[in-house]
Structure 1
Amino acid sequence: MIVLVVVVLLIALILLRVPVAFAVFAAGLLGLVLTGGFAEAIHSMETSPFASVRKNSLSAIPLFILMAQLMLMSGLMDKVFDAARALVGRMPGGTAIASVGAGTAFGAVSGSSTAAAATLAQTSTLRMLKEGYTKETSTALVAVVGTLAAMLPPSIILVFYAVTAEAPVGDMLIAGLLPGLMVAVSMLVVIAIGYFRRPDEMPKGTKSSMKEKAVLFLESSPMILVFLCVIGAIFFGIVTPTESAAVGVLASLIIVVGRKRWSAKGFSMAVLATVKTSAMIFAIIMSAHVLGDFLTETRVTPRMVDAIEDSGLPALGIVFLIALIYLVLGFFMDQIAIIALTVPITLPLIEALGYDPVWFGVIVILLAETGMVTPPMGLNVFIVSRESGVPPITVFKGAFPYVIAMFVLTTIFILWPEVVLWLPSIAG
């Protein structure tokens, strides 16, 4: 009964748009008071929040956020898109293909789906509309490509999951690389299918000379080099994820200065944005541990594990059922909230079935990201709609084929977990 009261309170607060950290904290605190009294609640307040943010691995989060802010400050995003467009722009649908390439590169260094979608909407979407692409294609593609930021390392969502699940941060970052690239390739497949069905909706771009291609590639190469250095250092075991993030910040700062984009005001804004985002994430982590203490007291998770083990359902069926729940949650909640609220409950079930927590993290994040482009919430869709002036319903309609492709990939990852775990298994 107490668990039901806490769940109802939590859902009610979230529906009332109370910040997730405060909603989770209030629900967890009420649960502790109802189960153990005020003394138990005070004891939890004294120890759990502080202990939850003492982990060294958490320091990678603000560093990766600052690296992304500095990359935005450097202005390299426009150069990356121009370079990709010069390379394939003459092909049918070349600008759409270039948008996928540029979005993949930007997502790899930004770590934020919404930031990636907003930035791409100001470049790729407007360019595609100008060249004659349909509104559905030019907006939906950008909204979906923005979701790659959560999957491709160095992603703050991957780090957040690793900390929540107590999984190796380095393995988690490496595990997101291949699935993220496969999602990008699936978008190219959807573009190709669209071209063969309706060639008039995939116009050709302008032709670029070899000199123009070379110049644009050299101008955009710093972003690619930073990504390769950060991920390569983790993959080969040269540095820890936190040390790699620090190297990324230094490299990004050098790029900003080298491109003469440095300003005290711009750097202050980058630091302020980093502090705000980091504070939000840390607050959710502390609140989630308070709720976790309540769940530990009520033994909800062990009871659920026992009930599922006694149900006789096949392991694969249980996994697909859990995946469906995450898909529905993605329709209404953001990724960080989903991870903070559900992973402490679902991960023990997954481990009891014999699955790897790193693999499960990729599945959770991919399903949560799908919710970023599906109704009714679809945050990326509304961001692109606002930036482009195209109605949200048009963007949702255009995103449907890409969502189907993401569902197919999710099924592949569930049926063959080794696809996700291959890179971490060979990493140093």
Structure 2
Amino acid sequence: MTAFLIIVLLFGLLALGVPVGFAMGVAGTIGLFIVGNWDMVLGVLQTTPLSTVSTYELITIPMFLLMAELVLKSGIADDLFRAAAAWVGHIRGGLGMATAMAGAGFGAICGTSTASAATLSATSLPAMLRHGYEPKMASGVVAISGTLAMLIPPSIVLIIYGLLAEANIGKLLIAGIIPGILITITIIATVYVLAVRNPAAAPVSPRVSLRDKISLLRVIGPMIVLMMMVTGVIYTGVATPTEASALGAFGALLIAILRGKARPAEVMDAAKRAAQGTCMIAMILLGAHIFGYFFTLTMVTQNLVQWVGAMDASPWVVMVAILLVYVILGAFMDQLAILVLTVPIVLPLVVALGFDPIWFGVIVIVTAEVGLITPPMGLNCFVVAFYAKRPVSEVFAGIWPHVFAHFIAIGLMLAFPQIILWLPSMMK
């Protein structure tokens, strides 16, 4: 009963607009006081902040955020879209496909979904509209392509899942590569089907000469180097994810310098924004740990595992039910908040059912991508509408084909776990 009341208090605080980290910290503290005493509360509050921020792997977050901010300053996303558009723009729906490719490429050097969606809104969406694309189709592909940054390394969300689940962050990041490619192909295939069914919604762009195509490929070079400085060194075992994040931030700084976008004021602004993002995430993790202590004392997780274990249901039925809950929660809550609230509760159950925590983490992130574009929350849709100055209803109208296509991709990853687990199993 105490656990139920504290959960109601938590959602009440969230409904009032209290930031998720503070809401979890307050609810967890009150819960600890109820089940224990004031000395217990003080003991947790005195030790948890230091234990939270002193985690070695936490350093990856400010480094990857700094890398993302410097990449945004360099303006490389514009060039990525132009290069992709030059090569596939003459195909039916080609600019939409180029948007998905640019989203995947930018996600591989950015790591944050909202930044990716905002950047694509300012680059690829105006280009599609100028070429006569149907607004809802163009808006939909931009919104879904922005979510690729959640999955393709260096994904900040995967790192946070790893910290919450105490999983191998290097394997988690590498596990996102093949699913990221699969989701990118899914988006491209969805755009092609939509364009073939309604050619007027996706006009063909003029062909670009082979010489110009090859010339535009030079912008991909820095991106590939940056990807190798991060993902490549993690996969080969040359560096840990923490060391790779520092290499990535340094590489992004070099790119910004070479492109003339590294004036002292711009670098300081990038560092400031990265620090702000890191403080927000650290506060969320702190609140999650306090709330987690309360859940441990009240045996909520253990009781849930025992209850499900007593059910006469297939583990796959339970897994599908869990993912449906994630889809529903994603329509109403921020994806980071969902991870922090659910992973400490759900993961022990998932492991008890015999599923791999690395596999589950990637599946949850892909499911969270759907939540990023579904109403009424649909954060990426609001980001696209804001930066592109388009009605949010128009963006929501264009995402539904991609939602259904995502469910097919999730089904493939459920049926064939090696899509996720093969690459991490080959790591050195």
Q: TM-score, normalised by structure 1?
A: 0.98
The answer for the alignment partner of 1:261 in structure 2 is 261
- Whole-angstrom CA distance in 2 between matches of 1:177 and 1:136: 29
Runs of 4+, deviation exceeding 4 Å: none
Are 1:167 and 2:164 counterparts?
no
Output the amino acid matched with 1:227.
M
Q: Is the 8 A contact 1:94 1:204 kept in 2?
A: yes
Confirm or deny that 1:97 pairs with 2:97.
Answer: yes
Q: What does 1:77-156 align with in structure 2 at a 5 Å threshold? A: 77-156=77-156
Provide the identity percentage: 40
Aligned equivalent of 2:318? 318
Q: 2:206 matched to which residue of 1?
A: 206
* 2:92–2:196 Cα contact (<8 Å) kept: no
In the alignment, is the contact (CA less than 8 A) between 1:106 and 1:149 conserved in 2? yes
1:376 maps to 2:376: yes
Cα distance, 1:328 vs. partner?
Answer: 0.9
Matched residue SS, 2:17? coil
Stretch of structure 1 that moved more, 143-152 or 87-96: 87-96
Contact 1:164 1:343 in 2 (8 A): yes
Please report how far the alpha carbon of residue 164 of structure 1 lies from its aligned counterpart in structure 2 after TM superposition: 0.6
| Contact 2:92/2:192 (8 A) holds in 1 | no
Please say if residues 49 and 290 of structure 1, whose CA atoms lie closer than 8 Å, have aligned partners that are also in contact: no
Amino acid at match of 1:144: I
**What's 2:46 paired with?**
46
Aligned-partner Cα distance in 1 for 2:369–2:5: 29
2:104 partner amino acid: T
Pairwise CA distance, 1:415 = 2.5
Give the SS at the match of 1:110.
coil
1:275-354 pair list within 5 angstroms: 275-354=275-354
- Does the residue aligned with 1:167 lie in a helix, a strand or coil? coil
- 3-state SS, counterpart of residue 146 of structure 1: helix
SS in structure 2 of the partner of residue 147 of structure 1 = helix
Structure 2: runs of 5 or more not aligned: none
Mapped to 1, the partners of 2:311 and 2:76 lie a distance apart of 54
**What is the CA distance between 1:206 and its match in structure 2?**
2.4
Within-5 A mapping of 1:337-416: 337-416=337-416
AA matched with 1:127: A
Q: Offset at 1:76?
A: 0.9
CA contact (8 A) 1:327 1:368 kept: yes
2:6 maps to: 6
Asked if the contact 2:229–2:251 (Cα under 8 Å) also holds between the matched residues in 1, the reply is: no
Distance 1:219 1:414 in 2: 36
CA contact (8 A) 2:104 2:149 kept: yes
Contact 2:169 2:241 in 1 (8 A): yes
1:112/1:156 contact within 8 Å kept: yes
Deviation per CA, 1:76-135: give whole Å up to 9, x if none: 111111111111112222211111111110011111111111110011101101100001
- Gaps in structure 1 of 5+ consecutive residues: none
Paired residues of 2:413 and 2:419 also in contact (CA < 8 A): yes
Matched letter for residue 63 of structure 2: L
User: 2:70 maps to what in 1?
Assistant: 70
Distance 2:197 2:208 in 1: 27
Q: Name which of structure 1's ranges 201-210 and 342-351 shifts more when overlaid on structure 2.
A: 201-210
- Determine whether 1:245 maps to 2:249: no
Deviation at 1:62, TM superposition (A): 0.7
One-letter code aligned to 1:129: L
Mapped contact 1:150–1:369 kept (Cα < 8 A): yes
Q: CA deviation at 1:228?
A: 2.7
Contact in 2 for aligned 1:77/1:102 (Cα 8 Å)? yes
The answer to whether 1:25 aligns with 2:17 is no
**Letter aligned with residue 283 of structure 2:** A
